[in-house]
Copies of this chain bind each other. A is one copy, B any other.
Amino acid sequence: MLKFVSLLLVLSFCQGLQHNNIDDYVEAEPVFEASKYGSLWPLPQKVQISEVSFKLSSSSFRIVDAKTSSAGPSCSLLQSAYRRYYEYMFGSAKKQWWSKNSRRSDPSDLIELQVWITSPDSECDGYPSVTSDESYELTVSQPVAVLKAPKVWGALHGLETFSQLVFEDEYGAKSINATVINDFPRFKHRGILLDSSRHFLPIKVILASLETMAMNKFNVFHWHIVDEQAFPYLSRTFPQLSEKGAYHPYTHVYTPADVKMVIEFARLRGIRVIPEFDTPGHTQSWGKGQKDLLTPCYSGSKPSGSFGPVNPILNTTYEFMTQFFTEISTVFPDGYVHLGGDEVDFTCWKSNPDIQKFMEQQHFGEDYSKLESFYIQKLLDIVTSNKKGYLIWQEVFDNGVKLKADTLIHVWKGNQEQYQNEMASVTASGYQTLLSTPWYLNRISYGQDWQGFYKADPQDFKGTDEQKKLVIGGEACLWGEYVDATNLTPRLWPRASAVAERLWSAKNVTDIGDAFNRLSLHRCRMVERGIPAEPLFSSYCPHEYKGV
């Protein structure tokens, strides 16, 4: 018998009735059973677990660099990961710290985990990228376990997996089964979008999200940092943008030091930070600190006093964007920037006589999407000259803007049929794409909505194998209209965990019952690690969340 269950026992009853719930909402209630994969989440590509188990002594167990590893003690990324995972595994153990710290070696002990970076360049001091090798192999056998990975990024994932294999036996002794795992992600881009404009998100919440993303093997933090409502990004070049455009110029901004901290915290967990600066729409907050950036709207022949999207007909606009995105390219080390480009409302442009004149000069007729394309094209050139790649929301593709071959098209609109058609159409044009439509986690509904997130598959559309290969992944989005630090974490987890497994594990990992069993344990583990991840269904965790 595998002993995973004793780590985190969850009970739930299968009664036909659901107390006092309106009848038409009653669902089939799941029953918890231990999965043969224990609490592994997301499920690795290949797993073999034996029935033999070893004990881990908190006083003697060590995570060490393998002698032949290309990453040694100077690789602080791994060293801090060792400490982090040691604390996850043994932190709550009431070990006899006062007893002599002898590394006694009981014959049934697992004494160490050797971490072996096999490639000459461990990438320890670099940043993760879309081409990073995230694979790893983990062999747990007595007396040592070995974690082999070409790069540190795979080692980070392997450490998480190792920590997920450790459980407590009935006496509370930390134990692990002999195991062989061979693992790599199905998709290269596995992201979470957080929105710090509709509500300001204190750094503490962002860091907690990154920490939890690592537990779920997400590797992209899509930081939707500014929007209509507020401009919390403190720009060195244009400080007046947040001075005027943030909810508050001191308490509700991200300073350069804050941004740096987020990026480094993410890097240490193998997570890329892709900022989004969405234009030409969604820019009301930009206009407060940057004169003449937005289009003045007209009421009849006079300016109405309100403003529309970025003004695409002024040279000053492009001078501003050049300087601004040059700063962004320096501040954010990732190879990609998200440029937005969604939901541009033409009403204001149409009302403005200067814009009308420009349309005539350019022979755009009445087609304002041509004006939008004109703007976007120039913006893309600016970003390209900074040697950055870009992501854009699907409208930019839909409007026929000329795009670089390596552009990533971010699909977010429509129902299932519509987004699947869009994925087919984008990939038929040879572009890479990533999917978000089915994963708008801000859209809450009663019951186990994680199952819907879990069932969506970004490669389920009509297309050739070549087309399918152009799908680089997806992102779960938590838009901020109804979310701030008070409710973000339990709303994100474990619902985003469903997306994490879809993007990491093999396509055929679709057993919803097995997923429920593993995810129930995974969520209790997140709770034990201090993350208020909400419950899937009636049940309990051995260590409940103690905050309020």
Contact B531 A548 (CB under 8 A): yes
Contact B546 A19 (CB under 8 A): no
A531 contacts across to B, CB distance below 8 A: 548
Query: Contacting A534 at CB < 8 Å: which of B19, B22, B208, B487?
Result: B487
A19 contacts across to B, CB distance below 8 A: 195, 227-228, 278, 282, 342-343, 479
A230 sits at the interface (CB 8 A):
yes
In the bound complex, CA of A393 to CA of B547 (Å):
33
Contact A200 B284 (CB under 8 A): no
Contact A446 B446 (CB under 8 A): no
Q: Would A443 and B440 be within 8 Å (CB), given that A204-B548, A487-B534, A490-B486 are in contact?
A: no
A542 sits at the interface (CB 8 A):
yes
Interface residues of A in 512-548 (CB under 8 A from B): 527, 530-540, 542, 544-548
Contact B535 A16 (CB under 8 A): no
The stretch that binds B, out of A244-252, A266-274, A321-329, is A244-252
In the bound complex, CA of A18 to CA of B284 (Å):
13
Contact B540 A199 (CB under 8 A): yes
Shortest Cβ distance from A10 into B: residue: B247
Query: Contacting A442 at CB < 8 Å: which of B15, B247, B446?
Result: B446
In the bound complex, CA of A278 to CA of B112 (Å):
53
A342 contacts across to B, CB distance below 8 A: 19-20
Interface residues of A in 390-424 (CB under 8 A from B): 393, 412-414
In the bound complex, CA of A13 to CA of B245 (Å):
12
Contact A446 B447 (CB under 8 A): no
A483 sits at the interface (CB 8 A):
yes
A229 sits at the interface (CB 8 A):
yes
Contact B202 A544 (CB under 8 A): yes
A198 sits at the interface (CB 8 A):
yes
Copies of this chain held together in the complex: 2
Shortest Cβ distance from A536 into B: residue: B482
A21 sits at the interface (CB 8 A):
yes
A98 sits at the interface (CB 8 A):
no
Contact B198 A538 (CB under 8 A): yes
Shortest Cβ distance from A486 into B: residue: B532
Contact A247 B482 (CB under 8 A): no
In the bound complex, CA of A281 to CA of B490 (Å):
32
Query: Contacting A443 at CB < 8 Å: which of B22, B393, B477, B480?
Result: B22
Q: Would A482 and B447 be within 8 Å (CB), given that A20-B477, A284-B15 are in contact?
A: yes
Shortest Cβ distance from A347 into B: residue: B16
Interface residues of A in 1-28 (CB under 8 A from B): 11-13, 15-22, 25
Q: How far is the CB of A138 from chain B (nearest CB, A)?
A: 30
A345 sits at the interface (CB 8 A):
yes
Query: Contacting A252 at CB < 8 Å: which of B281, B447, B540?
Result: B540
A279 sits at the interface (CB 8 A):
no
In the bound complex, CA of A284 to CA of B19 (Å):
12
A485 sits at the interface (CB 8 A):
yes
Contact B486 A17 (CB under 8 A): no
Query: Contacting A538 at CB < 8 Å: which of B208, B445, B481, B546?
Result: B481
Q: How far is the CB of A529 from chain B (nearest CB, A)?
A: 11
Contact A479 B540 (CB under 8 A): no
- Most chain B CB neighbours (cut-off 10 Å) among A20, A281, A534: A20
A47 sits at the interface (CB 8 A):
no
A228 contacts across to B, CB distance below 8 A: 13, 15, 17, 19
In the bound complex, CA of A429 to CA of B443 (Å):
43
Query: A239-268 interface mask toward B, CB cutoff 8 Å, 1 = contact, 0 = none?
Result: 000000001100110000000000000000
Q: How far is the CB of A220 from chain B (nearest CB, A)?
A: 17
Given A20-B342, A484-B544; 12 other pairs, CB 8 A cutoff: A12-B229, A20-B343, A200-B540, A202-B546, A204-B546, A229-B538, A248-B540, A443-B446, A444-B444, A444-B445, A485-B547, A531-B548
B-contacting residues of A (Cβ < 8 Å)? Answer: 11-13, 15-22, 25, 195, 198-200, 202, 204-205, 208, 227-230, 247-248, 251-252, 278, 281-282, 284, 342-343, 345, 393, 412-414, 440, 442-447, 477, 479-487, 489-491, 527, 530-540, 542, 544-548
- Interface CB pairs A-B, < 8 A, 18: A13-B228, A13-B284, A15-B284, A16-B345, A17-B343, A19-B195, A22-B413, A199-B539, A200-B544, A202-B545, A205-B548, A251-B544, A445-B446, A485-B547, A486-B527, A487-B491, A487-B535, A489-B548
